[in-house]
Amino acid sequence: MELNFKIKDKSDKSLKLREENLLTFKKKGFPNKREEDWKFTDLEKVLKDNFKELNNEQLDSKKPNIQNLKFIHNSIILINGKLESFDFKSENSKDKNYLTIKELDIDHHLNFANEFKDNSMQNLNTALHEGGFNLNVNSDYTFKYPIVIYNYFTGSLKNKMINNSESINMSINSNATIIEYLIDESEGNFFKNTFKYVNLEENSSLDYFFINKNESNNFFYEFSRVKLSKDSNFKKYLFSSGMKFGKFESNIKLNGSNSCGEVYSGLFLGINKHQEIKTNIQHLKPSCQSHQDIKNVLTSGSKGVFQGKIFVDEIAQKTNAYQLSKGLLLDEDSEFSTKPELEIYADNVKCSHGSTSGNIDKEALFYLKARGIEGKEAVKMIIKGFLESVLEKIKNKEIINILLKHFNTHIKYENRSN
Amino acid sequence: MSKVIDTNKEYKYGFTTDIESFKAPKGLNEETIKFISKEKKEPKWLLNWRLKAYKRLKLLKEPNWQKPKYPKIDYQDLYYYSAPKSTKDKPKSLEDVDPKLIETYKKLGIPLDEQKRLSGVAVDAVFDSVSVATTFKGELTKKGIIFCSISEAIQNHPDLVKKYLGSVIPLTDHYFATLNSAVFTDGSFVYIPPNVRCPMELSTYFRINASQTGQFERTLIIADKGSYVSYLEGCTAPMRDENQLHAANVELIALDDAEIKYSTVQNWYPGDEEGKGGIYNFVTKRGACRGKNSKISWTQVETGSAITWKYPSCILQGDNSVGEFYSIAITNNHQKADTGTKMIHLGKNTKSKIISKGISAGNADNTYRGLVDINKKAINSRNYTQCDSLLMGNKCGAHTVPYIRNKNSSSTIEHEATTSKINEEQLFYCNQRGLNQEEAVSLIVNGFCKEVLQQLPMEFAVEAQKLVSISLEGSVG
């Protein structure tokens, strides 16, 4: 695989740092399975098998076919990773300073870039970083309507590598729901490497949904660093079914007492899909809570990976942490690998995890068949029930509808003799 | 809760015996290996095998991924061979054995003389590196069972040794296993012929005695078709200030319908309260269920050693084979344990079960690390894993790192893990009924470990229960 990475931004401020990072990346290369964090997902091999070349040359972006989710919402439009426009008219707020949004520049990116410099993907991101957005929600503001980020990929993106980053800051007492809606209508394969920095100040809350619209033949790596202050609350929902390759890392730091971090995901992985969810939830202050619920349905040579870690610092007493990962394997070619990890240094805690994998419960199937539901339909029903269980805590009906539709598009259960 | 009890019992088995040791020169090199081989009158093929391992060793690096870190070991500063001199001419009976040795065994409670009949345990006692006396040989010989030191086996049953040695843990496995292959001095050898049920529990007491001698034990157990054997391994070691390395290899082979039960109680010197001294226990234990319907069951109670680092594993090759792992790991003061198992499912309808109980107190760190890998061809396989950790005090750590891979849809894996502290209500209940804090903790912890303790053979279970309580003394707070 040929790598043609060139630093385009030659500004004095950042050039040196970009060069250093590019050099570090070139030394380390793309991560492979010899690295513990990439044990089950050999990125180097995946890229080599799918790309002859990767470059960061100018993107030839086309105007996308504008999609509109049919409910009242605010919107932000990204095209090929860059901020295109935004529209907060629906919010109709009297308070003019409730929010600021602008294109994310390298200065802002550098505030975080050094945090994960052991990760060669971070090195690459810093070296080639272009665009993204920076969103700041001001204190005491509660959004009336969700914010939808339409994340379009258009035009010919053959052999392109997109490196961007996003930053979201929730000020004191603010509340918001964000839906990132990924629409891929590009031609040719590309690889996207995104770093997200989310900061929640005291008593704020953010629900973040990631929903993939259609089938995508592309490769996504995303690293989110989430920092929570006292009494804040963060929920992440990940629905990336349909993507050929995805690795989503969440590094959640519970850095204030009584904060709460949650991660939910329900994935259906079809023909040769490979997706990994990796979480690292760090309980750094007392009385924090975390909850994780990961469900994977696997078929036709797909590979699902979950690596989840709960870390409890010695001062983080009264921690309550729970993690559940379940894999439903529908045929012989699929594989589910998990590494649910606990690292605990405090004694007054309640931490547990569970992990299961296997085929559809024969008794459940028999129960449905006995009630006149035909084999294929019964299996589909069980799969749906299995995945939809992660939606239980969502209150917004509009979002539930989008997700049910998402499942309908992506659950493609064929043949079988059941 | 305030600290109630301060008394900390001294290590009960901390003593050394003055017996003149016969040592190989210090250092690890080809000469040392040739010296060991010559001393043990080994055949040529084994010497070559050792040298091959040594050649490989030079290419390998010490692993550094594990959680417990240890100071660098200077392999050139160790003695690789030491034998009590008085055994150079093998004693014919108990009377010929050095009385000081007998005394040592008595302190350890090894039933060598009168007790042997009462307890019905056949003991192959390893004092440092050379087996001194073997009991109950006659009865075992009648059944065709071979139970002897591996050096004897090399002399008397070379075919069996040649066929199976290194077949489960290959020469090239990893640093410490390869080191062992190059310089192993002694250990036990067991062969159970087809359709024989071993009439008694076979047992070996290991004992590290000479200072600065890393012990490199090699154990090989073969259960032929339809046979059964239960093997006990118990360890105590004298008090020492220097860190001592112990890198043993244990290989189990179960053929068709055979069953091996391997139980360990490990109570080596854990170092003092500040974490000074103590033994490094870097052991490679692996069993292969080669035959159909075979079964290997590991049970371990790990309370000693400064660092314990071992993963008794099962390779489930035969169809319908079963692997089990029951473990209690207790760490106190500055002890570190990184232990668990690997269950590799290759055959059809294979089953495995893992029950791990970790207890961490003081400044200790306790890690469960395990792998469950169900291969594509291992259809209808099953695994159940449960790992529970108990924390006492806020300076210790408990960690769980399971790797789980399922590569076929007809197999089922279940895994659960919990971490918590001792339930206050249970403590209160016991206190209320007149038990003091320490007795209450001991009772609750024994209950917590019950699932594993009941897997141990009778003689061991009693000892292990006591050990569990002793290990946690002074940790209640």
What are the structural domain ranges in chain A?
2-366
According to the model, what pLDDT value does residue B338 have? Answer: 92
The residue of chain B with its CA nearest to that of A311 is: B399
ipTM (interface predicted TM): 0.84
Lowest-confidence segment of A181-185, B140-144, B326-330 by average pLDDT? B140-144
Contact state of A357 with B404 under an 8 Å Cβ cutoff: yes
**How far does the CA of residue B426 sit from the closest CA of chain A (Å)?**
15
**Residue B81, CB-side half-sphere exposure with 13 Å CA sphere:** 22
Taking the C-alpha atoms of residue B473 and residue B439, their distance in angstroms, rounded to an integer, is 10
Does residue B456 sit within a domain? no
Phi then psi dihedrals of residue A120, to 5 deg: -65, -20
> Cβ contact (<8 Å) for B417 and A354?
yes
Residue of B nearest to A358 (CA): B412
Share of chain B above pLDDT 70, in %: 78
Subunit contact A336:B419, Cβ cutoff 8 A = no
pLDDT score at B122: 46
CB B391 within 8 A of CB B362: no
Cα–Cα distances (Å) from B341 to B305, B314, B326, in that order, read: 18, 8, 9
Does residue B209 register a pLDDT over 80?
A: no
**C-alpha distances in angstroms, B326 versus A114, B138, B198, B341, B368?**
44, 32, 22, 9, 12
Residue at B314 is within a domain: yes
The better pLDDT of the pair B118, A215 is held by A215
The band of B208, judged by pLDDT with boundaries at 50, 70 and 90, is: very low
User: Average pLDDT for residues A42-61, to the nearest whole number?
Assistant: 91
Query: Which residues does chain A have within 8 Å of residue B389's beta carbon, measured at their own beta carbons?
Result: 342, 344
Residue B475 lies in a domain: no
Residue among A314, A331, A335 minimizing CB distance to B405: A335
Option in A332, A338, A348 nearest B408 (CB): A332
A→B contacts (Cβ < 8 Å), by residue, are 36, 39-40, 314, 317, 327, 329-332, 334-359
Q: Minimal CA–CA distance to A176: which of A197, A145, A135?
A: A145
The pLDDT-based confidence of B118 (bands split at 50, 70, 90) is: very low
As for how many domains chain B has, the answer is 1
Confidence of residue A96 (pLDDT cuts 50, 70, 90): confident
Q: How far apart are CA B270 and CA B336, in angstroms?
A: 9
Q: Distance of alpha carbon A259 from its chain centroid, rounded?
A: 21
Contact A255, A285 (CB under 8 A): yes
How many angstroms separate the CA atoms of A241 and A244, rounded? 9
- DSSP secondary structure of B261-322: EEEEEEE-----TT--S-EEEEEEEEEEE-STT-EEEEEEEE---SEEEE--EEEE-STT-E
CB pairs under 8 A between A and B: 119
Q: Among B404, B418, B445, B476, which would you mutate to test the A interface (most chain A Cβ atoms within 10 Å of its Cβ)?
A: B404
User: Which of residues B248 and A237 earns the better pLDDT score?
Assistant: A237
Min Cα separation A343/chain B (Å): 4
Q: In whole angstroms, give the CA distance from residue B55 to residue B33.
A: 11
With tokens 């009906």, the residue in question is A397
- In Å, how far is A322's CA from the nearest CA of chain B? 9
Q: Do B407 and A349 touch (CB under 8 A)?
A: no
Which residues in B lie closer than 8 A to residue A282 (C-beta atoms)? none
Beta bridge partners of B263: B232, B299
Nearest-CA distance from A97 to chain B in Å?
46
Of A314, A339, A355, the CB nearest to B401: A339
Instruction: Determine the average pLDDT of the residues in A21-50.
Output: 93
Q: Report whether pLDDT(B119) > 50.
A: no
A337 Cα to chain B: minimum distance (Å): 4
pLDDT per residue as tens digits for the range B43-72: 999 999 999 999 999 898 888 777 777 778
Residue B472 lies in a domain: no
In a domain, B447, yes or no: no
* Residue B214: pLDDT band with limits 50, 70, 90: low
Query: What digits encode the pLDDT tens for the residues A339-373?
Result: 999 999 998 899 999 999 999 988 999 999 999 99
Instruction: Choose the closest CB to A347 out of B392, B406, B414.
Output: B392
CA distances in angstroms from B207 to A124, B105, B261, B268, listed in the order given:
55, 10, 22, 9
More confident call, B1 vs B444? B444
pLDDT of B133: 42
Cross-chain Cβ contact A352/B398 below 8 Å: no
For residue B388, the enclosing domain spans: 21-421
pLDDT of residue B227: 96
Residues of B with CB under 8 A from a CB of A: 65, 376, 389, 391-421
Average pLDDT, chain B: 80
B476 — pLDDT class (breaks 50, 70, 90): low
pLDDT at B5 (0 to 100): 37
Q: Is residue B442 part of a domain?
A: no
Report the gap between the CA of A356 and the closest CA in chain B (Å): 4
Mutate to test the interface with A, among B345, B351, B388, B400 (most CBs of A within 10 A): B400
| Residues B396, A350: C-beta atoms closer than 8 Å | no
pLDDT at residue B11, rounded to an integer: 52
Of B393, B404, B407, nearest to A347 by CB-CB distance is B393
Residue B465 lies in a domain: no
If one compares A67 and A86, the residue with the highest pLDDT of the two is A86
Residue with tokens 């240890």: B70
Residue B81 structure tokens: 């061979």
Q: Do the domain assignments include residue B14?
A: no
Searching chain A, which residue's CA lies closest to the CA of residue B377?
A332
Report the pLDDT averaged over residues B322-344: 92
3-state secondary structure at position B390: strand
For the cut 90, the answer to whether the pLDDT of residue A55 exceeds it is yes
Among chain A residues, the shortest Cα distance to B365 is held by A345
